[in-house]
A and B are shown apart, each in its own frame.
Chain A
Amino acid sequence: MVIMIPLVLCISVFGRIPDVEKTMSSDFKSAGSDIVLLGSLAPLSLGGSVFYDTLGYVGNRVPRCDLRGAPRIMRRLYELITAGKVRAVHDVSQGGMGATLAEMCIGGRFGADVDLRKARGPYSRVKGSIDLPLGIFYNEMAGCYLVEVPKGPRDETLFEGVPHAYIGTTTTQQEIKVRWGSERLMAIDLPTVTAAWKRRMQEVFHVAA
């Protein structure tokens, strides 16, 4: 079968890692783990995001990556991976934290329960402006990561000195639950998410994903 691939700009970066066992995958590894957001999102900067695109907007404010802070986060993450302190990592990229969380759940076949209020940073929820939870969920700031930390007593030194927020836990329930404090914002079952995630590949490449 010949698969015609649509024109896609693809930039790949390769690095040599001395020990392959010290590499990390993005799928959640167990239930009951803490989910930590590393880095600072910019929930009001949704310009060019998939979220805006879906709504038909372009936006006039794009995320500005903190070029001094991002390498610090990356270095810390590398130390934690090498030391075996974290079990899964995925960057926040196209689609924002929502897509990141979904992919980590799909890969691991675990659900998640997250509270976006814990990731709100210096912002508060203001009526009349962009809905803050949506901004947090769909902002595509570079240099942010979702990290799975195994359950157990919280080690406060892990992320000391880098912006971070414990936003929720992984669950055995096959469902992604999103809250704002005690307010329930969204719940979607994993099979639905997985089907949606695979559908695009089937549409574009006409193959079973």
Chain B
Amino acid sequence: MLLRKPRVCVLKAKGINCDEETAYAFSIAGADAQVVHINELRYGRVALRDFDIVVIPGGFSNGDDVAAGKILAIDLMAFLKDELLALIERGGLILGICNGFQVIEQAGLFALGKPRERVLTMNASGHFEHRWVRMRVEKTACPFTSAFEPGSIITLPVANGEGKYWASDEVLGQLNSSGGVVLRYVDDEGLATRHYPENPNDSLSAIAGVYDPITAQVFALMPHPERFVTKTQHPNWRRAAIEPFGLKIFESAVKYAASL
């Protein structure tokens, strides 16, 4: 039983197209989720201070123009930077999914490393990758993955063209040594890999999801957890009992935010 229902702001902007299912995922995880257009926040009709969690969902914000997530990142930093930083200061959470991950990196919302030293770039395959991938949960001391057993192997769908995690040697080293990598693509043996197709984009250090080890409150991942919150979303649900892994991410976040 939750002490209270955390309030979730699911961000909407031009080209975001996973907001409804992300709000649904949070609502079945026990939160009170609301889809809010960025202009409602910008013009003060809705205030971020009323929320515990902000999600930047997947999609193609601004048509991926310039670079995936770039323009929405500029909007966020120009109009909502103070509110977002205030949210982190009072213990709130920020989640970025797929395009939301690209936005968070472009905006420099992670405290570790400078923007442009870490970015999501074109998949090595040269095309859109959309299928189920296997990952290992590297870290459960994270508000978004506390519901998992350490080292769990999970599966979620990816759907991206610019999903290759790239960072400078220095930032990559910091991320790895500080335990900032939460999810890594793995092969059949459960080992982190850059081998294609197990690693769908040739992501460095097999990175699929990272969090900010300094504040622990910002988490972003390329796969879509909101696409696996009920068992029947998995293509093989009739033959195998596979836990809806995506739901656990939302449940972890809700549990954390409920205690704020």
Contact = CB atoms under 8 A, between A and B. Distances in A.
Interface string B190-232: 0000000000000000000000000000000000000000001
Contact of B239 (A1, A20, A29): A29
Interface residues of B, number: 4
**B-side interface mostly:** loop
A25 B238 contact: yes
A183 interface: no
Nearest to A19: B232
A164 to B, nearest CB: 24
A175 interface: no
Contacts of B127: 1
A20 B232 contact: yes
A100 B232 CA distance: 25
B87 to A, nearest CB: 37
Nearest to A20: B232
A21 B232 contact: yes
Interface in B220-252: 232, 238-239
B124 to A, nearest CB: 15
A29 B238 contact: yes
A27 B127 CA distance: 32
Interface centre among B127, B232, B238 (most CB of A within 10 A): B238
A20 B234 CA distance: 12
A97 B146 CA distance: 51
A107 B239 CA distance: 11
B131 to A, nearest CB: 14
Interface string A9-26: 000000000001100010
A23 to B, nearest CB: 9
Contacts of B232: 20-21
Contacts of A29: 238-239
Interface in A11-64: 20-21, 25, 27, 29
A27 B232 CA distance: 16
B238 to A, nearest CB: 5
Contacts of A1: 127
A21 B234 CA distance: 12
A80 to B, nearest CB: 16
Contacts of A21: 232
A172 to B, nearest CB: 16
Contacts of A25: 238
B88 to A, nearest CB: 39
A66 to B, nearest CB: 30
B179 to A, nearest CB: 38
A185 B227 CA distance: 47
8 contacts: A1-B127, A20-B232, A21-B232, A25-B238, A27-B238, A27-B239, A29-B238, A29-B239
Interface of B: 127, 232, 238-239
Given A21-B232, A29-B239, 6 more contacts: A1-B127, A20-B232, A25-B238, A27-B238, A27-B239, A29-B238
The 8 closest A-B pairs by CB, nearest first: A20-B232, A25-B238, A21-B232, A29-B239, A27-B239, A29-B238, A1-B127, A27-B238
